[in-house]
Chain A
Amino acid sequence: MASECTDCVSVSDALAAAAGSDRALGPSELDHLATCLRCRAEQSRYRRLMEAMQSLREAPTSEDSRLESQILETLDVYGHRWARITNSGVAAAVGGIAAGAAATAGFIAARHRRAARLAS
């Protein structure tokens, strides 16, 4: 296999960009690929990498069985105030923003308290 040359370095950058079809390879890069085994091998590896990335997304992730109920509880505790206010109309918009910020702040504060408890 040929050793890395200046053209290889330049084409290598283009291959990383072209791997996900972010851009097409130019004529000079294609010319180089036609004659350089090293860069063709690198291009082939990028193709395999992209395929593996997609297959990884489809692979099942081990999930915490309590997550769904935790999300719904969070919505119960911090979401209902927002929903009630937004349903009451434009007059309460300013209050709604404040309530939304307070709900988020409460959620973050609760999480920090939990983190502090875990850390101690």
Chain B
Amino acid sequence: MVSLVERAKSGDREAFDRLVRITHSDSYALALRLTGSTEDARDVVQEAYLRAYRSIGRFRGDALFSTWLYRIVANCAATHIGRRRLHRHDHLGAHDDVIDTRPDYDPTLLGDVAALRVNLDAAIRDLPPRLRSVVVLRDMYDLPHDAIAKELGISVTAAKVRLHRARRRLREQVLPLPGEDHDHGQ
């Protein structure tokens, strides 16, 4: 991977194409998590690789190539979501009602890791985009707070507030405490 990146930095298009082949599945998975839509994820990934191609000469190598690429995907997704909101007038406020996609409360199912993953996947998709972005980038892709804040165009404090709010929502929805069953997402 390192030698491919060096070759791509020197303008070797074939090396960049190989990097695309190696990394595009992971980039698409991140874009899909951030946008919640296969169509949007495809657009985001294409735009991200175009930006990466144009700016790879400036990649200094002080982070992993994959981390650098995640940041570009995150930035493209934030731009894309913002544009989509402007054009389609989607209502994406933080206080939207969350659709409850959980199966009926069942301690056996809750104890099952696979069921937890299914429920969590649905709960992440149900989060408003501004909460979803920070929790996916931080808790799934391990990006540092300052990188997340920079790519999303928000302050580090705002990124942390959104992250903690997102975690709380997810926890209440997929792993509720007794008494939270009917008031999660509040």
Q: Footprint of B on A, CB under 8 Å? A: 1, 4, 12-13, 16-17, 19-20, 22, 38, 41-42, 45-46, 48-50, 52-57, 59, 61, 63-64, 67-68, 70-72, 74-75, 78-80, 82-83, 86-87, 100, 103-104, 107-108, 111
Contacts and interface: CB of A to CB of B under 8 A. Distances in A.
25 contacts: A4-B179, A16-B164, A41-B177, A45-B171, A45-B175, A45-B177, A48-B116, A49-B167, A52-B174, A54-B140, A56-B124, A56-B140, A59-B117, A61-B28, A61-B29, A67-B24, A70-B46, A71-B24, A74-B49, A75-B49, A83-B13, A87-B11, A107-B46, A107-B47, A107-B50
B171 A72 contact: no
Interface stretch (B37-45, B60-68, B92-100, B101-109): B37-45
Given A19-B167, A49-B175, A52-B117, A71 B45 contact: yes
B117 A56 contact: yes
Interface residues of B, number: 48
Contacts of A50: 139
Contacts of A100: 54
